[in-house]
């Protein structure tokens, strides 16, 4: 899947020159030059906050540049709105889907098209496109009933309905099983052979090496390198992204006779909403010093499991969940936190942090109950409280290398990766004896991901029990002592991470042989 000499000699499909975007005095993009050829799969790489999102939003018309030029088929153009970008031939599939769960596939596709098309025409055309590009879907199905992989197909077909010449894909494989990712690569190969171009944003560097013809690498808003990924190693690409070597996670084998700190027994719960998943007889245990990884495609009960363990939803029986041998199934989040547990949800803004609150206010909001004993000793001296919170906020930002434009900004001003580092650092700073974390490095760059993963491993080394819920199989295998898989509200038995293969995990994620693995050991 390499760019041919014939394609290399062709005029650029897209070229940007000296593209710059300022927010006040901060340059999110500065003097960016790069080009994309017809029939090219081009990777856009960089750390969180490197300027990738700003650049593609400019290309797609969601943002306007401060200065610089965009050339489309050698002609200077502007993209004041996404509608203008789509008319040029630029389509985009975002990392976070924008589908209405209560509507059908065809109805969701219709929302992105002009009203001149009838729903019957849209259904017929979507069916033809799905077959042509190997993206099977049922136009009449409700989106709320679809898996994440199926929803991504809907997003791609919706984009293809606009007949784009350039498709921007933001982290397209982050929610897919290995088998689904392979299917997506076959689709991209078909698009490439048709002369369409792909701008591929991903933190999975082995995929980039395999798939992409060229890569443009951003750092601090500037282009610092362009390379042929296949001629590089994942380590050398990461080094260009970060500016230094990315350290491998150092892990130790956990003793199997350590004390069980977290236990879930016969946990079953009905679905709270029409689009949530009921939990079905979940059993798991995590020992001191152990990391249990829970793999699975989103939407198979992982969020419901996190909510039950954290106390956001109450278990049917107190004994369904135990922390340090104490029955906590009926206790609140704060009561569980006061017992030494920490919980980091998948959703950063609105769940892990209040968007309009400053970092220090979010620190106080998260810690005032778990650190209640320390606060009570201080009485009602607000200035001392604030000093403690400010020092803790600075300590976390320094330790986790949280990059920000102000000393104490609102959380919504941080990039997703930097906000994730802050939220994780805020909980690790407490040195919890139990950590439950959902999608620890979702959308986080290689350097930050390595730092977060090592911090989690170090917590386990200190004797804490760690439960990781992740859709990233690289992460699951890198961190876990044992691996279990969620499918349709069931949890498989926990397998030794050293003995189970990715293919076996992928099959369990797809529900194959799941009936034999409904209960965890």
d(CA 181, CA 476): 17
Q: What is the pLDDT of residue 175?
A: 65
5-242 maps to which CATH number? 3.40.50.300
Locate 95 and state its tokens: 């990392």
Q: What is the DSSP letter of 406?
A: S
Locate 66 and state its tokens: 């401060």
Average pLDDT over residues 185-210: 92
Q: Which of 22-31, 416-425, 438-447 has the lowest mean pLDDT?
A: 438-447
**Three state DSSP letters for 121-172:** HHHHHHHHHHHHCCCCCCCCCEHHHCCHHHHHHHHHHHHHCCCCCEEEEECC
Q: Answer whether residue 514 shows pLDDT above 50.
A: no
Q: What is the pLDDT of residue 8?
A: 61
pLDDT over 70 for what percent of the chain?
91
Locate 488 and state its tokens: 């349709």
d(CA 305, CA 491): 10
> What kind and span of H or E run contains 214?
strand 214-219
Query: Partners of 29 in the beta sheet?
Result: 21
Please state whether the predicted TM-score (pTM) of the whole model is above 0.95: no
The more confident residue out of 412 and 344 is 344
d(CA 415, CA 419): 6
* Mean pLDDT of all residues belonging to the chain: 87
Q: Which of 26-40, 51-65, 133-147, 466-480 has the lowest mean pLDDT?
A: 133-147
Q: Answer whether residue 5 shows pLDDT above 50.
A: no
Which residues, 6 or more positions from 391, have their beta carbon under 8 angstroms from its beta carbon?
Answer: none
Q: Answer whether residue 378 shows pLDDT above 50.
A: no
Domain ranges of the chain: 5-242, 257-340+433-521, 352-431
pLDDT in tens, 478-491: 999 999 999 999 99
Q: DSSP labels for 435-447?
A: EEEESTTTT--HH
DSSP3 helix / strand / coil % (the chain, rounded to 5): 35, 25, 40
Classify residue 115 by burial, with Cβ atoms within 10 Å: 0-12, 13-18, 19+.
exposed
Q: What is the pLDDT of residue 256?
A: 66
Q: Answer whether residue 424 shows pLDDT above 50.
A: yes
Which of 42, 31, 30 is CA-nearest to residue 3? 42
Q: What is the pLDDT of residue 344?
A: 94
Find the distance separating the first CA and the last CA of the chain, reported in whole Å: 43
Residue 178 contacts residue 502 (beta carbons within 8 Å): yes
- Please indicate whether the domains covering 5-242 and 257-340+433-521 agree at the CATH topology level: yes
Q: Answer whether residue 468 shows pLDDT above 80.
A: yes
pLDDT band at residue 418, thresholds of 50, 70 and 90? confident
**Domain spanning 257-340+433-521: CATH 3.40.50.150:** no
Residue 377 contacts residue 439 (beta carbons within 8 Å): no
Q: What is the pLDDT of residue 317?
A: 95
Q: What is the pLDDT of residue 7?
A: 58
């Amino acid at each position: 899947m390499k760019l041919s000499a014939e394609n290399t000699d062709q005029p650029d499909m897209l070229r940007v020159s000296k593209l710059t975007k300022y927010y006040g005095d901060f340059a999110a993009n500065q003097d960016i030059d790069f080009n994309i050829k017809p029939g090219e799969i081009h990777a856009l790489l960089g750390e969180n906050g490197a300027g990738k999102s700003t650049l593609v939003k400019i290309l797609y018309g969601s943002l306007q540049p401060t200065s610089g030029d965009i050339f489309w088929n050698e002609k200077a153009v502007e993209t004041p709105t996404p509608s203008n970008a789509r008319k040029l031939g630029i389509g985009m599939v975002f990392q976070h889907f924008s589908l209405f769960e209560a509507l059908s596939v065809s109805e969701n596709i219709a929302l992105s098209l002009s009203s001149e098309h009838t729903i019957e025409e849209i259904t017929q055309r979507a069916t033809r496109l799905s077959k042509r590009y190997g993206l099977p879907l049922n136009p009449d199905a409700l989106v709320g009933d679809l898996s994440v992989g199926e929803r991504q197909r809907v997003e791609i077909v919706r984009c293809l309905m606009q007949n784009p010449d350039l498709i921007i894909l933001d982290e397209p494989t982050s929610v897919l099983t290995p088998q689904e990712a392979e299917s997506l690569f076959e689709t991209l190969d078909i698009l490439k052979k048709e002369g369409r171009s792909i701008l591929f944003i991903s933190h999975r560097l082995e995929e980039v090496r395999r798939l992409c013809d060229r890569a443009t690498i951003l750092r601090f808003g500037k282009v610092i390198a362009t390379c042929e990924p296949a001629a590089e190693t994942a380590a050398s690409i990461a080094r260009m992204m970060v500016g230094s070597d990315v350290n491998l996670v150092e892990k130790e084998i956990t003793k199997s006779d350590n004390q069980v700190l977290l236990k879930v027994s016969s946990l079953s719960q009905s679905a709270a909403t029409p689009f949530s998943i009921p939990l079905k007889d979940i059993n798991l245990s995590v020992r001191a010093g152990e990391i249990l990884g829970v793999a699975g495609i989103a939407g198979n009960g992982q969020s419901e499991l996190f909510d039950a363990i954290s106390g956001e939803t109450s278990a049917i029986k107190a004994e369904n969940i135990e922390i340090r041998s104490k029955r906590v199934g009926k206790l609140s989040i704060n009561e569980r936190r006061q017992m030494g547990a920490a919980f980091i949800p998948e959703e950063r803004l609105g769940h892990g942090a209040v968007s309009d609150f400053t970092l220090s206010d979010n620190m106080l909001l998260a810690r005032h109950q778990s650190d209640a004993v320390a606060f009570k000793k201080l009485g009602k001296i607000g200035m001392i409280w604030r000093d403690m919170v400010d020092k803790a906020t600075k300590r976390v930002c320094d330790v986790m290398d949280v990059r920000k434009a102000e000393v104490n900004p609102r959380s919504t001003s941080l990039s997703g990766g930097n906000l994730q580092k802050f939220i994780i650092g805020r909980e690790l700073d407490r040195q919890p004896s139990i950590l439950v974390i959902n999608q620890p490095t979702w959308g986080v760059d290689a350097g930050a991901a390595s730092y977060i993963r090592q911090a989690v491993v170090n917590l386990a080394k200190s004797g804490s029990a760690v439960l990781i819920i992740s859709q990233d199989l690289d992460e699951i295998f890198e961190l876990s002592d044992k691996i279990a898989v969620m499918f349709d509200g069931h949890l498989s038995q926990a397998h030794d991470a050293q003995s189970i293969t990715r293919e076996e995990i992928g099959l369990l994620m797809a529900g194959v042989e799941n009936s034999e693995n409904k209960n965890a050991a």
